Amino acid sequence: MSSIHTELVLKALESLDALSAPPPDGRPSLLGVPITELERFAEAAGEQRYRGRQIFQGLFHRRVTSFADLTDISKKLRDALEATFDIDRPKVEQVQASTDGTRKYKLKANDGSIFEAVYIPEVARGSRTNTLCVSSQTGCAVGCKFCFTASLKRNRNLSAAEIVGQVLAVRDDVAPFGERAQVTNIVFMGMGEPLLNYAQVTRAIGILLDPMGAAFPSKRITVSTSGIVPRIYDLGRDLPTQLAISLNATTNAVRQQVMPITKKWPLEELITALRAYPLQPRRRITIEYVLLGGVNDTIEDARRLPHLLRDIPVKVNLLPLNAHDRTELKTPEWSQVLAFERELKRHGMNAILRRPRGRDISAACGQLGETVPLPQSREAAT
Ligand code: SF4
């Protein structure tokens, strides 16, 4: 290895904007670095600018897993990169397969943090959609009362590299199942509130959208939020991705009970942000409504919802609560679920009753985090 070149590469590190916190072995990950920074980095390392593009394409288009496979750059540069950087995906500790084809991944970061991602294959209207639900944090401080992740009480932000690494790790895992198993859609609906990790989430999305790399179309990446109002405005300005809102109530009083974040950003402010959200033609905001027995599932709620969302292009996903042992909330009666859906449709709403996926492996909506060990003090308390 040329030590002179390695020194240049180390110096060129300074040209990279926001590297994730270096892992314990000190080598930062290249998986969170956008193409423009890699080009700048190549120049600073005494290479041609286009070498940065070649590295980016190797990482995200060809999805190489070792620097040795970046065969279109010189061995000298490959060795220097290897000595300086890491391109490891989060480690797949466990894969659980549901009877419905859903796969839940227990992933381990370099610092030992555990988080989960869920792969959901679906055949809809004759076309195959394989959605990957990714995490943005290792727990969640937002504290929604129906959510298992909230009970973990941890919320380290994942870095852009760890977010992109999730996608690469799952793509690698499903690759042997053939072309039809490819991940086609990404939803930020896993562990964590993505808009409370705004810088790293948007950085990761920029990398995933880049046509030189993973090249996901913007309509196939959805960011779901509990309603971090200022960041909704930012997101609409910064990225062309799809937006989903976890709404779950039609009055502030009920929403405060199940989503304490409502005290900070009440429904009026959230709805104003949705009205202002710049939507591309033929796109809609997804409204997620978890039906909680006896709490938000009345016919009055079903009548208030269309009024609340009037004039906003939306589709409503109805999700009866996936019960778990960290919530006292209950799944509603099936007759109530059907009545709620009927009432929304009667008011002309585009409402879809979602079939829970991966419930047998605790991979369904609101259930993520079951494979994450509790801190010892909490373990004793439960
Ligand atoms: S539903 Fe989302 S925002 Fe709410 S606690 Fe769970 S992970 Fe956090």
Question: Residues 47, 99: one domain?
Answer: no
Question: Residues 270, 323: one domain?
Answer: yes
Query: 73-93 pLDDT, tens per residue?
Result: 999 899 889 988 999 999 999
Q: Looking at ligand 1, which atom is closest to the CA of residue 259?
A: 4
Mean pLDDT of 174-196: 94
Which residues are paired to 116 by β-bridges? 106
Which residues are paired to 115 by β-bridges? 107
Domain that holds residue 21: 3-84
Amino acid (one-letter) located at 364: A
Given a cut of 90, is residue 219 above it in pLDDT? yes
Question: Residues 204, 254: one domain?
Answer: yes
Number of domains in the chain: 2
Question: Residues 135, 268: one domain?
Answer: yes
Query: 1-59 pLDDT, tens per residue?
Result: 445 566 767 666 666 655 544 554 567 899 999 999 999 989 988 899 999 999 999 99
- Residue 382 to residue 365: CA distance in whole angstroms: 22
Ligand 1 mean position to 179 CA, how many Å? Answer: 32
Ligand 1 mean position to 292 CA, how many Å? Answer: 15
pLDDT for residue 380: 39
Q: Where are the alpha helices (DSSP H) in the chain?
A: 3-12, 35-44, 50-56, 75-84, 160-174, 198-209, 229-238, 252-258, 267-276, 299-308, 334-346, 376-381
Question: Residues 228, 257: one domain?
Answer: yes
Question: Residues 17, 142: one domain?
Answer: no
Question: Residues 127, 30: one domain?
Answer: no
- Residue 299 to residue 22: CA distance in whole angstroms: 52
CA neighbours within 13 Å on the CB side: how many for 346? Answer: 10
What is the CATH number for 320? 3.20.20.70
pLDDT for residue 27: 79
Ligand 1 mean position to 197 CA, how many Å? Answer: 13
CB-based contacts of 36, cutoff 8 Å, min separation 6: none
Given a cut of 60, is residue 348 above it in pLDDT? yes
Question: Residues 111, 56: one domain?
Answer: no
The CB density around residue 310, as the number of other CB atoms within 10 Å, is 11
Question: Residues 129, 205: one domain?
Answer: yes
- Residue 219 to residue 323: CA distance in whole angstroms: 31
- Residue 284 to residue 314: CA distance in whole angstroms: 5
Question: Residues 167, 268: one domain?
Answer: yes
pLDDT for residue 334: 93
Given a cut of 80, is residue 125 above it in pLDDT? no
Query: 248-281 pLDDT, tens per residue?
Result: 999 999 999 999 999 999 999 999 999 999 999 9
State both tokens at 152. Answer: 């973990």
- Residue 328 is a catalytic residue: no
Looking at per-residue confidence, does 5 or 170 come out higher? 170
**Which protein residues touch ligand 1 with a CB less than 6 Å away?**
140, 142-144, 147, 149-150, 191-193, 226, 246
Of 37, 116, 162, 193, which one is the catalytic site residue? Answer: 116
pLDDT for residue 26: 65
- Residue 279 to residue 376: CA distance in whole angstroms: 45
What is the CATH number for 66? 1.10.150.530
* Averaged confidence pLDDT in the chain: 89
DSSP notation for 99-133: TTS-EEEEEE-TTS-EEEEEEEEEEETTEEEEEEE
Question: Residues 70, 213: one domain?
Answer: no
Query: 274-326 pLDDT, tens per residue?
Result: 999 999 999 999 999 999 999 999 999 999 999 999 999 999 999 999 888 78
pLDDT for residue 209: 97
CA neighbours within 13 Å on the CB side: how many for 234? Answer: 15
Q: Comparing 241-245, 291-295, 372-376, 377-381, which segment has the lowest mean pLDDT?
A: 377-381
pLDDT for residue 83: 86
Share of the chain above pLDDT 70, in %: 89
pLDDT for residue 20: 47
Of 133, 140, 144, 365, which one is the catalytic site residue? Answer: 365
Distance of CA 102 to the CA centre of its chain: 16
The CB density around residue 213, as the number of other CB atoms within 10 Å, is 22
Decide which of 84, 100, 130 is a domain's last residue: 84
State both tokens at 170. Answer: 């799952």
Decide which of 57, 84, 111 is a domain's last residue: 84
DSSP notation for 268-308: HHHHHHHHH----TT--EEEEEEE-TTTT-SHHHHHHHHHH
Direct distance between the N- and C-terminal alpha carbons of the chain, in angstroms, rounded to an integer? 54
State both tokens at 138. Answer: 């290792």
Nearest CA to ligand 1 atom 7: 192
Residues 137/148, Cβ–Cβ less than 8 Å: no
Residues 364/321, Cβ–Cβ less than 8 Å: no
DSSP tag of 197: S
- Residue 370 is a catalytic residue: no
Phi and psi based region of residue 329 (left: phi greater than 0; alpha: psi -120 to 50; beta: remaining): beta
The three-point CA angle 279-281-285 to 5° equals 40
Mean pLDDT of 194-208: 96
Looking at per-residue confidence, does 370 or 180 come out higher? 180
Decide which of 35, 56, 84 is a domain's last residue: 84
Question: Residues 102, 240: one domain?
Answer: yes
